Every structure is written in structure tokens, then in C-alpha cells.
Structure 1
Amino acid sequence: MVKTPNFDRVATEGVLFNHAFVSSPSCTPSRNAFITGKYFWGLGSGANLWSTLPEKHQSFIHLLADDGYVTGRTVAKTWGPGNLDNWMAHHGAHPSGKAYKTFDQFLDSTDAKQKPFFFWLGTADPHRPYEKGTGAKSGMDISKVHLFEHYPKSDVVRSDVADYYFEVQRWDRLVGSAIAQLEKHGLLENTIIIITGDHGMPFPRGKGNLYDSGVRVPFAIRWGREVKSGRIVEDYISFADIAPTLLETAAVKIPNDMNGKSFAAVLKSEKSGFVDPENRSDIVFGRERHTIAQDKPSRSGYPSRGYRNSDFLYIRNYQPELWPAGTDKRDSNRKLTPFSDCDGGPTKNFIVTNKDKNDELLRTFQLAFAKRPAEELYDLKKDPGQVNNIANDKAYAKVLKTMKDKLQRRLTVLNDPRAKNPDYDGFYQYPYFGE
């Protein structure tokens, strides 16, 4: 339904990764994990949306610049959102490099045609708000729009997803223009191109959630003759792994405090499927405070962690008394609409407004907005949509314990403060600079 010829080209001429996951399904911590090569929970205030990044954390883009790379970014969304004043005062520059209006301007006004370069082509697409009806007006048949299992089968929802597709396609055209510039200047074959997103779509049970609809992202890499084309790789990779991978391919020393692991060997392999199953057959991720949307006076978020492999998804919700998408009251810290930790839009409105009309709509509402138990477990072979929680099913008691233990071991190795203290409240003390 959605047409992404430039993403498809990169995937076909390079490597498509089927199991790429963000460290956290929220803009700021997701991008912080990308630039630092560290899991979000080790970044202090950088673990929260609309906060800061402590000065002690370095950007791998600066390390490339120190090694002679020309670096730049678009004016549109790259790092953030949040406040970088102290970080930039300490480091002397934006973590993503100098801003340029377009990739063309970067190439034409720097030495990037002669020297190695890094450029972050960012965009607000497909972030909300959308112009309602753009998908249908562009010629999309909304009856053919794919819906996650946790959405009601409604034309209102399908049209909203089509509007999302419209912005995805606009982003894909921007990528195409950048690829055309690389070809024009003879740079394409020696440039590593990565296309991905920083979290799931801004819809209920998507962005801000630890299901695949929130943490699993499209991910394709093209690197000319250096990488065998046409490969589909199943190895699990995290956003925290990108920085050490790019530093390794650039022959720049990887800092000891980066706990992401390079997947350069997987990238350069000629194999498809699982290339390194011993080390890359599972993944961990989590979230802390997205927005301040709980009942007053709480400034907490919705702390949770997830552990996933090809068979099961396990989620630990540390404070199940809280609301996963924000309080149901209007008088939250944000003083906006109920469930304000979920982006507003026609899909959210439809689910909330129609929840009492039938059992199907009530179930979609509960999946998106209702309080959740302390533990969730999903059998991905039987339930790929991750909507049937089997954590209390005695038949899965052994699996539940195994997944819980594996999550705890990984979090301990990766120095997550919640591994030692599940009630840790340090993340709530950091500033929130959002509206």
C-alpha cells in the first residue's frame, strides 16, 4: 500500500535487517542512544523526553569529526527534543554537527566531496500532526490499508494510517533526492547509507510502548561494493549498536564506555538469516518518562523494560498502578486531554469515543489505554500481534521465569539502575522542558 522505492532500493542493493530495535520508543532517549552508543538508562536525564544530555556523554559524530570527518545535519529534527545549552557549552558544538538547510547545501559548502563525511538527514515526517485526508487524496485505497491487530477495523483509522503513509512517502522522496546527489558527485559507492526511524508510529499502543509497534523499526544499510547486496538478516540489533559499528567501519577507536556492540562483522558477512546467533538472538529495551502525564503530583513516567527473542516477548512494568498512556483525567501535569502520553489524532479519538459501543472497541481501548499488569508475556508464534497476555497461564510458567531471569541478567550487565532497585526513582528528578 505504501510506496517507498528509495528505502526498497537501499534494502535491495544492501542489507535489510528484520530485527532492529530502538533502545527506547521515545524521541529524545532513542536519539541519545544513537549518538552515544549507550543504552538509554545509562544516560541520566538523557533517558527522558524533553530533557537534557549530561556533558559526560560524548557524541560519536564528534569523534568522527576529530578524526577528520566533515559532519553536518539538516535543520529539521535530529537530536532532541530538549535543552542542549550546557552540553554544547561543554563540547563546543551540536552533537550532530552544524545545521544545513539541505544535503545539497552541505555538499556544496563544505569539503564533503573530497573528505570523508557524516550527514544526518533528519525530518519531522511522519510525526504528527497530519493533514487529514492526504492519504486518500493522493490516490490510496484506504480499504487496503494494513492495520495492527490492536486497532479497530474502521475507515476513520484506515484513513489516519493512510495519512501516516503519505508522510512516509514524502520522507522517502527526500531520501531519494539525497541518493541522487551522491550519484551526481560520484560518492554513492563509497558512502554508507542507513535508513531507519527512531520509534514506532505515533498511534495508540505504538510510540511509547514496548511492543513491536513501538520499538521495532525498519532498518536498511547500503555500502556499495563493501557489502553484499540482496541480503536479509535476522540478527537482533539495537540503536545503541549503531555508533560503535560506524566507528569501527571508519577505523576510529570505540570508547570503552560505549555498551552498544558493533555489528560490523554481521554487515560485512555474505550470509543471510542469522549471522551471529550466539550473540544476536535477543534484545532488551525500555522506557522511563515520555511526558509528565500521570496523576498529580507524580512526575513519573511509565517505567518498564522488555526482553524479546524470536519466540517470546516479556515486559516488566515496574509501577502497574500508573497509566501506560497517561492518566485518564484531564487534570494531569500537562493539563491537556486524557491519555496525553499518546499523540492525539483521529485514531486515538475514535477509540476513546467509541469504547462503549461493542466488545471489540472496548478491547482496543483497553489494549491502548487501560492499566497493565506487572508482567506481560506474548507467544510470538501464536500471537505475532502481541495482544494476548499469557503471563498468568500456568502452561507458560517456566517460560515466564526464563524470560524474566534473562531480562534481569542483561539489565545487570548493562548497568540499568532498575536491575539493582526496581523502585529506583532517579529518572523522575530530571527537568522536563516540554509544553
Structure 2
Amino acid sequence: MKLSYIVIFATILILSSCKKAENQVKKPNFILISCEDISPYLSFYGDSTAKTPNLNQLSKESLIFDNAFATAGVCSPSRSSIITGMHPVSIGTHNMRTGGDAVGWGMRHYENLSKDLIDSEGTPFSMYSAVLPPEVKCFTNFMRETGYFCTNNYKTDLQFASPLSAWDENSEDAHFKNRKENQPFLAIFNHMITHESRLWEKSKDSLRVNPNNVKLPSYIADFDQSRVDFARNYSNIEELDAQVGNLLNELQKSGEYENTYIIFYSDHGGPLPRGKRMIYDSGLKAPFMIRFPNKSRTGRTDHLVSFVDIAPTILSLANIDIPEYIQGKAFLGSQKTEEQEYIFGSGDRFDNCYDRVRCIRNKNYMLVKNYYTNKPRYMDIEYRKKIPMMPEFLRMRDDGELNDTQMLWFNPTKPEIEFYDVNADPEQVNNIADLPEFKQKINTMHADLESWQNKIKDKGNIPEAQLLLSNWPNMEQPFTALPEVNLINDKYKVSCTTEGADVVYRYSNSSDIIEELDHWKLYTEPIKEQESKYLHVRSTRIGFVDSKPVIIKM
């Protein structure tokens, strides 16, 4: 009998110990190293023009993706899909750029703005913040709900001001080192050094790369300044590499390196002419790799990945349930799905130039659909014309000095359907849509594109001023309702009548309104009373003006 009791007692101790060990298993961290405007111009993709020792070393320890694509060839729409897991054309973030929310917490409240934007119908309207469907959140919301410390440093550019529910910190000082001890984290670090604007802002800096050593794509005219601009781009990539090295050193010193997924990517393709803003590979295809904790998976894969898949994949790797509304599909982790057959890309308004283009691509072919065939592919965007090579490139166009391939970008019209063999024609300059042997494939992919557009409710056919009016009644930005706070059994229960709104709160020693936006806690359960403290509570929803705080003496 005594022996039986001993066995039972020992079994209980073992089970208890196992349960305790299970509870102490650390959640993985996530570092997202985001850079601007580069195609796979890196040695581990076959282009060794730029010397990138830090990224090269990271690539040897990572899983490299050979078929990773942005949803749009420009910052804001692409970034909106990364943070939400939704296609920009389905949530109204597809027109570049809607407002002044490019960095940090954003404008938050739009009023008295001049009407300086024009939609596809020629209707003028003012800058605005996109209003997303009520169920759509930044995926970091779901990370924070499970205890993650989420930071963004420093660019956002999401087509809307970041909701207070999305980040613990969102500033130039935002950093994973500011978390509580042993708290898991997700930290995004955005590197601007390779942005298109650096092609002219750094034009007087010395070059790290010899212009004579760069290879120009066939669609770019070869002259001195074009070579200098390409060399500047590679030089900026070398500077990026040094910045990435510094960040990786910080992570190693923190002791969290081997418990962290390190995700490196560019927000879309490269900054040079016929790259950024286009939905060919030159605008959509981007470098993408993931270093797994303890280098548990390395090598490379040709798995077809869209950046709309990043959010659900991170949730999957973190073992957080992926909401059903999310359109992206996890390609890793506990909720991994089968590889998708296609990626999709879109292009609409860019600054004050308007076009509408959609593409569908698999590993072998790309179909591009043009809705405005009476317009050239080239858009006369003032921002892009600041690239030093552009004046000479445009002069050569006007003087008839460009060859047929270089003129493709400038031709006054374009076909409704373009079709490319992406393996035989990686630059997409040889349109084979008229070849009879591809007719069936074109019909199939065209039908699949239209099916996808119907499924996600592509909003590209809605004039932007009309789309804005549907989200901003009377062209006024909507406000989030005040949160309702009730004390029940020594805890404060909070709710908000605005559909889709989140609640955030913080403790303070003062009843003064707190303007600083970092460090609001996400409300997930009733709030405990704290002696001699004030409770500040606000509600927030993407695209809405935040509520005023409700302040309670505890």
C-alpha cells in the first residue's frame, strides 16, 4: 500500500514538473528588417555587384525565398497588405498615397485639407486616411493580445494612421530592449537608405561601386548618368548592409538571437525607371529570407509567396490563431497551408497620375491586364523625375534615340492583355499574348484573375472620391465613440459602441490628458484598480479619429 502511494505521489510530481516546464517554454521573438525599394540585387540572388557581408552571412543561416512578391510596386499599398494580411484593392488602400501618415503614429485627424488629389473621373478631393472594414486589424493586435511587446521603428506608410492598439512603441526610439524582462517581442526596423529619394539626395556622395561595373537591364538606355544612378543604388545597398549588421549585433548582445525569427525583405522592387510602381517583376519581386531560431531551417525554396502572406505566417509561427477574414495564407508554422498557384499585383493612382493595372503570376507565366489602353505605361510622376538620369532619358525618348525595347515604357498606348514567359523573359519585354499556342493558358489565367477580383471585391473600379465618400460621410472623417467604463467587482469593464473599435488604456499619476502615443496597453480583459492612480481609457479604429480619453480616479 505504501509503495502504491509513493508511485502515485511520484507520478504527480513528474506530471507537475512537466507542466511547469511546458509553461516555461519561451515564445519565439520576431525581428522584421524592412528595407526600401530594392529588387533581389544581392549576391545570394546571383548579383554580386554590391558587397554585403552581413546579409550574405545572414543568408547562409536562413531560408531564402526565390519567388517572393509584393502586392503592389509602391510603398503604401504594399505596406498596408503586410500589416493587415489583406490585398490593398480589397480594403481601399490601393491608391498611392492617400494622406500624411508615412511615419510614426500618423496624422490621426484630417481636417481643412486642400483638394489636391484627382481621381479617375477627374474629381478633386482632399487627402484622407483610408477606413478599413471593421473586422480588419493590424496583425500586431493579435500578437499584443497574447503578451507580445510590439514595436515599429519608424516608418509606417500604411495609408492610415497606426491605431493605438497596434504598437507598444512606434517612434525613432522604438526598440525591443524596452520590453519587460522575458517578454516576447515583435520589432520592425525600417531602413530608408535604399529609398528612391536617396538616388538624388545622396547624388553628391562618393560612390562605393564603380559605374562601369553595373549591368543595366535592356529597357534602360546606357549612358553615363544611368550608370551612375545604378551604381548609387548598389552603393546604398552596401550602406544598408552595414546598418543591418549593427542591428544584428544588438540582437546578439541581447541574448535573444537564437530565439528569434529574423525576417529580411524589401517593401517592393527597385527604385529605378520601369521598376518601382510597375507590376512586372521589376516592381513586385523582392528579396525575402527568414532566419529560424537556432538555424533550424536553411537553404532556399521556390515556394510562391505574396507579401499578403507575411502576417498570417508570423501568427502561425507564433501559434496564434489566424482570423478567418485574413486573405493571406500561412506558408510556415502550425497553420501552414498548401502552396498557392498564383500571386496577384495591382497598380492604380500614383500621386496625381492614374492608371489601373492588374496582374496574375505563377512560376512560369505572368498575365497583365490594362484597363486604360489609351495611356502609356509611363506615368509622368514629378517625384520620379527627380532621379538624376530621368531628364536625359526623357530627352532621348523625345529625340527618337531609344530602341524598341526602351520605348516599350513610353509607347502612347498599350494592349489590354500582356503575357510573358517569366523564365525565358525575366525582364518582361517580350509580350507573347498574340501567339496562338498560349491562347488557352491566357484564357485560363485571365478567368482566374477575374475570379480572384470578384472574390476579394476589387475596389479599383470605384472612383476614389466616391470610395472616400462611402467611408467619410459628408466628406468628414468619422470619430470613434467614447469608451464606456463600468466598475464591476473591483475591476473596470470597458466597451465601445463603434463597430470594429479597440480599447486602449494606461495608468497615470495625473488627470492631465496624455498626448504621448507610445505605451498604451491593449484592453483584453477587465482592468484592475490601482491605488492612487488615474485610469486613462481611449477607443481607436483604423481610419477614424481616436476618441477623447475617459479619465477615472481609482
**TM-score with structure 2 length normalisation?**
0.65
**What code does the residue aligned with 1:164 have?**
N
In the other structure, the counterpart of 1:99 is 170
What do residues 247-299 of structure 1 show as CA deviations (whole Å, max 9, x unaligned)? 1111212111101000115999xxxxxxx8x6334311112222222xxxxxx
Q: Does 2:321 correspond to 1:253?
A: yes
Q: What are the within-5 Å matches in structure 2 for residues 32-181 of structure 1?
A: 32-44=80-92, 46-51=93-98, 52-55=129-132, 56=134, 57-75=136-154, 77-80=155-158, 82-84=159-161, 91-93=163-165, 95-102=166-173, 106-111=175-180, 114-127=182-195, 128-131=197-200, 137-181=206-250
Instruction: Flag as ranges the 4+ runs of structure 1 deviating above 6 A.
Output: none
Q: Distance in 1 between matches of 2:407 and 2:381?
A: 11
- Could you list the per-position Cα deviations for residues 45-102 of structure 1 after superposition, in whole angstroms to 9, with x for gaps in the alignment? x222222232522000121112111111113x2334x452xxx5xx435x45522435
Q: Structure 2 unaligned runs (5+)?
A: 1-48, 99-128, 469-474, 476-554
Preserved contact between residue 316 and residue 335 of structure 2 (Cα < 8 Å): no
Alignment of 1:3 with 2:3, yes or no, is no
How far residue 222 of structure 1 moved from its aligned partner, in angstroms, is 0.4
Q: Secondary structure at the match of 1:371?
A: coil
1:17 touches 1:220 (CA, 8 Å); kept in 2? yes
Q: What amino acid is aligned across from residue 101 of structure 1 in structure 2?
A: E
Are residues 260 and 344 of structure 1, via their aligned partners in 2, closer, same or farther at CA, if it must alter by over 3 Å?
Answer: same
Counterpart of 1:23?
71
SS of 2:368's equivalent in the other structure is strand
Write the letter of the residue equivalent to 1:258: I
Helix, strand or coil: the match of 1:68? coil
2:438 — aligned with what? 396
What CA deviation, in whole Å up to 9, does each residue of 1:11-32 have, x standing for no partner? 2101000110111112111011
**Number of equivalent positions:** 388
Letter in 1 for 2:172: K
Give the match for residue 263 of structure 1. Answer: 331
Q: Which residue pairs with 1:12 in the alignment?
A: 60
TM-aligned CA distance change 1:132 to 1:342, over 3 Å: closer
Equivalent of 1:289 in 339, 345, 349: 349
Structure 1 residue 169, shift from structure 2 partner: 2.0
Change (3 A) 1:184 1:339: closer
1:365/1:340 CA distance change after superposition, 3 Å: farther
For 2:274, the equivalent position in structure 1 comes to 205
Cα distance in 1 between the residues matched to 2:146 and 2:130: 23
Letter matched to residue 71 of structure 1 = C
In 2, distance between residues paired with 1:130 and 1:342?
A: 10
Structure with more strand by fraction: 2
- 1:312 corresponds, among 365, 388, 405, to 365
Identity of paired residues, percent? 26
Q: CA 1:361/1:351 → structure 2, altered by over 3 Å: closer, same or farther?
A: farther
Q: Is the 8 A contact 1:235 1:281 kept in 2?
A: no
1:355 pairs with 389, 397, 413, which one? 397
Q: Conserved in 1, the CA contact under 8 Å of 2:200 and 2:387?
A: no
- Which of 297, 318, 328 does residue 228 from structure 1 map onto? 297
Find the residue that maps to 1:351 and give its secondary structure. Answer: helix
The whole-number CA distance in structure 1 between the counterparts of 2:449 and 2:254 is 47
Could you say which structure has the higher helix fraction? Answer: 1
Distance 1:54 1:288, change over 3 A: same
Partner of 1:303: 356
The answer for the alignment partner of 1:364 in structure 2 is 406
Structure 1 position 305, deviation (Å):
0.9
Structure 1's 279 and 228: CA in aligned 2 closer, same or farther, altered over 3 A? closer
C-alpha displacement of 1:307? 0.9
In structure 2, the CA distance between the partners of 1:305 and 1:3, relative to structure 1 (3 Å rule), is same
Q: Tell me, yes or no, if the aligned pair for 2:176 and 2:187 is still in contact at 8 Å.
A: no
Matched, 1:189 2:258: yes
CA 1:371–1:357 in structure 2 vs 1: closer, same or farther (change >3 Å)? Answer: same
Q: CA deviation at 1:152?
A: 1.3
CA distance in 1 between counterparts of 2:171 and 2:383 reads 32
In 2, distance between residues paired with 1:149 and 1:203?
13
Distance between the aligned counterparts of 2:456 and 2:357, measured in 1? Answer: 15
**CA 1:379–1:178: 2 relative to 1, 3 Å:** same
Change (3 A) 1:213 1:428: farther
Q: Which of the numbers 306, 324, 340 marks the counterpart of 2:377?
A: 324
C-alpha change, 1:430 and 1:169, in structure 2 (3 Å) is farther
- SS in structure 1 opposite 2:397? coil
Q: CA deviation at 1:125?
A: 2.2
- Contact 1:132-1:160 at 8 Å conserved across structures: no
Query: Do residues 238 (structure 1) and 326 (structure 2) align?
Result: no
Q: Give the TM-score normalised by structure 1.
A: 0.81
Letter in 1 for 2:183: K
- Where 1:386 maps in the other structure, the secondary structure is coil
**Deviation of residue 362 (structure 1)?**
6.1
Counterpart for residue 297 of structure 1: none
CA distance in 2: counterparts of 1:10 and 1:125, whole angstroms: 19
More displaced, 31-40 or 46-55? 46-55
Offset, 1:213: 0.4
Over residues 339-389 of structure 1, what are the superposed CA-to-partner deviations in whole Å (9 max), with x where a residue is unaligned?
A: 447453123222111125555456414325643221111122332221111
Question: Which is higher, the Rg of structure 1 or of structure 2?
Answer: 2
Structural RMSD (CA): 2.7
Kindly indicate whether the alpha-carbon contact (under 8 Å) linking 1:244 and 1:260 is maintained by their aligned counterparts in 2: yes
CA 1:375–1:395 in structure 2 vs 1: closer, same or farther (change >3 Å)? same
CA spacing shift, 1:358–1:10, aligned 2, 3 Å: same
In structure 2, distance between residues paired with 1:401 and 1:193: 40
1:146-192 residue CA offsets vs partner (Å, 9 max, x unmatched): 22221112231111011112222222222111110111111111111
Stretch deviating more after TM superposition (208-217 or 166-175): 166-175
Deviations 1:92-149 (A, max 9, x none): 35x455224356xx244332x5211011101222111435776983341211112222
Structure 1: gaps spanning 5 or more residues: 269-275, 294-300, 327-337, 419-423
What secondary structure sits across from 2:222 in the alignment? coil
- Identify the match of residue 462 of structure 2 among 425, 431, 434: 425
Hey, what's the Cα distance between the residues in 1 that align with 2:359 and 2:167? 28
What is the CA distance between 1:311 and its match in structure 2? 1.9
